[in-house]
Structure 1
Amino acid sequence: MNVLVCIPCLMTGGTEIQTLNLVEALITAGHEVTTVCYFEHSTNMVERYKQTGSNVCLLSPEGKRPVGITNTVLLLYKGLHRVLREVKPDVVHVQYMAPGAIPIIILRLLGIKRIVATAHTAADIYPSLRLLHFVSRHILTAFQCITERAEKSFFGNSQMYKAEMKLTRHGNHFTIYNNLPPYISIANKEQRIGKVVTIGVVSRLEPIKGMDLVVPAFSKIHAMNPNTHLLVVGDGSLRPLMEQQKNNAELNEVVKFAGVQPQEALQTYYDSIDVLLMPSRSEGFGLTAIEGMARGCVVVAANTGGLPEVVSDGKVGLLHEPESSDSLAEKAIRLVDDRELLMTMKQNAIDYVARFSFAHYSELINNLYSKL
């Protein structure tokens, strides 16, 4: 089939990486794929899509977002109309992010009948679900969520997609989990813990990721367990605050900021982390969690968004109370104090993460496309 994949941005983020996995899965199965980006884009990410085998169309070559709803609609209508004439897709797969349902409605007005949408968040970011429910019932062939918890937030019920599932003309919704990106492999089972336990984060250093809670929590962890270090991989607006927190707590010798690292280097950093902190305030899925688990990190994550579904509490990681650095510290201290528990969870995490393999994801996606 000829597939058009629509996405607002092609920057370096979890949604773009997962969409790249979608593109690769479809191309591997023999489909022709064109990716259209509406707004912001980076040269590196555009090249990665092209290297996978996708054509890439940029509606805004300069990578700027129009000002105002009228200009946005005009850009999308004219741009998608042009792309549809050139590509003539059999199916359009829309990444359902800002600007919401506008591209889906435009595609339907332009005559596209087979439209699949993927939601990369839960419903809590949308002020009203009326439009989404209308679009799902009357326009979309299928609406894919990335966790069952997110699907329930949209529709009140959920189901994992299975090969034997039958599709109706409209209104199908289900969950297909995200998968490990190609730059992370699943580690062998011989995990070790050194004398010093490394606590780590791999994240944008932003409020939505809860990064302001990390250093205060680590201060409590280190006070109870001096043989602990903190490794911070990433950058963002909260880095000055986190460095100030480190200085105020006199933790300069045991806290390291590694800055932004290329994705191909992340596996090495995960390998040096024993306990991975994810105190996010909002998280649609938690790609970092499965990346870390694949390398034997034990994840301590906020009980929010898709994280409770991805991080099995008490088996491969621990969930903490959202917004609480005390709860975050308490869970991490439990792991640091109990080396046997930490080792067991390391081993469990590696076994558990196989369910998020690219092969499994590709099989489900292409089974879905065989029904379209």
Structure 2
Amino acid sequence: MRICFIADARSIHTKRWVQYFLERGNDILVFSRYETPIPGTKVLPWPKVISENWSIRKFELLRNAWLFRSMVRGFKPDIVHIHYIYNNITNLLWYWGVKNLFVSPWGSDIINDYSAEIEGSSFYRRFLFRQARVITATSHFLADVARHYTDKEVHVVPFGVDCQVFRPTERINMTSVVTLAFVKHLRVKYGPEYLIRAMSLIVAEYSRTKLLIVGSGELRIQLEALTERLGLTRNISFLGAIEHRQLPELLRNVDMFVMPSIWEGFGVAAVEAQAMEIPVIATKVGGIPEIVRDGITGILVEPRNPEQLATAIIELIENPEKRKEMGKEGRKYVLSRYRWEDNAALMDDLYKSVLESPGGKR
């Protein structure tokens, strides 16, 4: 197959899709807003709009649409797959009449980041879903949201994890300190403030508890100030963003993974943690209840609730055997539903079914 991905080349998910299909002898082309190289394939930047003058800008948009379509047609793809929906009129011109178009929303492209409400008046989304041969979503929650824009079937193909990379290992530092981890961008929708406030309640009872905050974002200065104001600088470490390949090493010394999101489309970081036999404390929002089994692989709490977060974390601090049992159940659950190879194969099957259907060939 010849597959054209329109996706963020920086994303680990994009890199995994490319790797999977390259390894199976397919030809891949990636169009991205970011010129991040991906081994084995060509990454082309989206044509840029430069002028601020609308009378000139509209011609640039039309020119760029023509350039994009020319480049795609030159590649002669069997499949064009959009990962994440960007709201741009040029995009609509690019995708108009594209054969065998797959559309995969990732979350914030179909849900408002802060209100977590469905964006009901989106011409862009409805247009793309009408053009699509196949629509996929990473969770049943996102599939239900997508159905507000289309009557077409929405296939659920989760983000899987590499269970050979994310696997349980012996802890490096065996101490009595209980270590928590938060791995997300530092944004309002991921709820880091509520975790920091929960830490003030936890430390009051278990002063040796540590929290690693991994990620960058616009809230960092504000969160560091809150940490200092609550007297938690000895308990909370801000590590900044790290490479995805560094994450398994960091998680080796983590006792609990915490995801206090206000909303979450899927939550792949929680799946990675469970693959390493780490129990997850998370909020019961969006797609999280699909990936964290409440009381079995972790504990789910209400969003925006530091008290519930603290209570759940303290429960597992006081019950190391329960932590261990939840961790083992978590890995079993991931192996049964979220192995990367299995989920990529689902997408492969969808590609082939379209190509084998009437009118599917170029």
Q: Which residue is equivalent to 2:358?
A: none
Inter-partner Cα distance in structure 2 for 1:113 and 1:100: 20
Structure 2 unaligned blocks of 5 or more: 113-118, 355-362
Change (3 A) 1:149 1:101: farther
Residue pair 2:12, 2:244 contacting (<8 A) in 1 also: no
Q: Which residue is equivalent to 2:115?
A: none
What does 1:39-78 align with in structure 2 at a 5 Å threshold?
39=33, 41=34, 46-47=36-37, 49=38, 51=39, 53-60=40-47, 70=58, 73-74=61-62, 76-78=64-66
The letter of the residue matching 1:366 is D
Q: 2:208 aligns with which of 223, 227, 231?
A: 227
SS of the residue aligned with 1:319?
Answer: strand
Inter-partner Cα distance in structure 1 for 2:315 and 2:96: 53
Q: Which residue is equivalent to 1:128?
A: 121
Q: Aligned-pair distance for 1:139? A: 2.1
- In the alignment, is residue 152 of structure 1 matched against residue 144 of structure 2? yes
Residue pair 1:189, 1:347 contacting (<8 A) in 2 also: no
**How many residues align structurally?**
343
SS of the residue aligned with 2:111?
Answer: helix
Q: Which residue is equivalent to 1:164?
A: none
Q: 2:91 aligns with which of 87, 90, 103?
A: 103
The letter of the residue matching 1:143 is I
SS of the residue aligned with 1:23?
Answer: helix
- In the alignment, is residue 369 of structure 1 matched against residue 355 of structure 2? no
The letter of the residue matching 1:3 is I
- Deviations along 1:328-360, whole A, 9 cap, x unmatched? 212211211222211111111121111211211
SS of the residue aligned with 2:251?
Answer: helix
TM-score, length of structure 1 as denominator length: 0.82
Residue pair 1:5, 1:35 contacting (<8 A) in 2 also: yes
Q: Which residue is equivalent to 1:160?
A: none
Change (3 A) 1:131 1:264: closer
Inter-partner Cα distance in structure 2 for 1:3 and 1:35: 9
Inter-partner Cα distance in structure 1 for 2:195 and 2:231: 15
The letter of the residue matching 1:31 is N
State the identity as a percent. Answer: 23
Q: 1:275 aligns with which of 256, 277, 281?
A: 256
Residue pair 1:192, 1:343 contacting (<8 A) in 2 also: no
Q: Which runs of 4+ in 1 moved over 4 A?
A: 64-73, 188-194
Deviates more, 1:142-151 or 1:226-235: 226-235
Q: 2:303 aligns with which of 317, 322, 332?
A: 322
Residue pair 1:198, 1:273 contacting (<8 A) in 2 also: yes
Q: Which residue is equivalent to 1:356?
A: 338
Residue pair 2:172, 2:252 contacting (<8 A) in 1 also: no
Q: Aligned-pair distance for 1:303? A: 1.5
Q: Which residue is equivalent to 1:4?
A: 4
Inter-partner Cα distance in structure 2 for 1:74 and 1:280: 40
- Deviations along 1:74-114, whole A, 9 cap, x unmatched? 365133223123211121111132226863553234xx221
Q: Which residue is equivalent to 2:360?
A: none
SS of the residue aligned with 1:371?
Answer: helix
Q: Aligned-pair distance for 1:190? A: 9.5
Residue pair 1:183, 1:267 contacting (<8 A) in 2 also: no
The letter of the residue matching 1:360 is D
The letter of the residue matching 2:20 is A
Inter-partner Cα distance in structure 2 for 1:66 and 1:309: 45
The letter of the residue matching 1:306 is G
What does 1:1-372 align with in structure 2 at a 5 Å threshold?
1-7=1-7, 9-11=8-10, 16-37=11-32, 39=33, 41=34, 46-47=36-37, 49=38, 51=39, 53-60=40-47, 70=58, 73-74=61-62, 76-99=64-87, 103=91, 106-109=94-97, 112-121=98-107, 123-125=110-112, 126-128=119-121, 132-133=125-126, 135-136=128-129, 138-155=130-147, 171-180=152-161, 184-187=165-168, 194-354=175-335, 355-372=337-354
Q: Aligned-pair distance for 1:71? A: 7.3
- Deviations along 1:116-156, whole A, 9 cap, x unmatched? 111111743323267645643x4211000100111112227
Inter-partner Cα distance in structure 1 for 2:3 and 2:87: 21
SS of the residue aligned with 2:103?
Answer: strand
Inter-partner Cα distance in structure 2 for 1:172 and 1:105: 24
Inter-partner Cα distance in structure 2 for 1:321 and 1:84: 46
Structure 1 unaligned blocks of 5 or more: 158-169
- Deviations along 1:45-70, whole A, 9 cap, x unmatched? x22x2x1x222111247xx8886895
Change (3 A) 1:73 1:212: farther
Change (3 A) 1:243 1:66: farther
The letter of the residue matching 1:58 is P
Q: Which residue is equivalent to 1:161?
A: none
